[in-house]
Amino acid sequence: MAQILTIEECDFDRLYEIEQQAHLIPWSLGTLKNNQGERYLNLKLVENNRIIGFAICQTVLDEATLFNIAIAPTMQGKGFGTYLLKALMAQLKKRGIQALWLEVRESNPARQLYERQGFNEVDIRKNYYPLPNGKRENAVVMACYL
């Protein structure tokens, strides 16, 4: 059974490895490390003593923003993303967070995951995300009331 644990300093090499594999334009190691602190709820998903996913989420007052969520590509399609997102939402709710926000690439299949968990499209940010070919892709802003 997969475990949900808090990210620790010793986890960053593995988180960075997953980040590089899972995202079209991945975060740098520095960006991963800079998105930590007391206003964050950052979780890792561990299966068989190995990190297979993570979520980076910042909290401000009674709202939170999911900045990054990733599952190792070899583990995708097995329900781990849903499991991690539900665990994150439950922990945020316990902390008194009332709304969770996120942005997602228009082409990202994870949009379906978010919609299944109660997220609604709020806005579109035109040409927000860079693409490897130098073009840009829209971001879909979504929110879920917890």
Binding annotation for acetyl-CoA: 69-71, 108
Residue 83 CA to residue 97 CA, distance in Å, equals 19
Residue with tokens 């999911």: 66
Antiparallel, parallel or unpaired: β 99-105 and 63-71: parallel
Would you call 103 a catalytic residue per the annotation?
A: yes
Catalytic residue among 16, 19, 103, 137: 103
- Sequence-distant (≥ 6) Cβ neighbours of residue 97 within 8 angstroms: 59, 62, 63, 64, 146
Binding-site annotation, residues: 69-71, 108
Is 114 known to be catalytic?
A: yes
Catalytic, out of 16, 114, 129, 137:
114
Written as six digits, the tokens of 145 are 């009331």
| CB burial of residue 127 (10 Å; 0-12, 13-18, 19+) | exposed
Active site residues: 103, 114
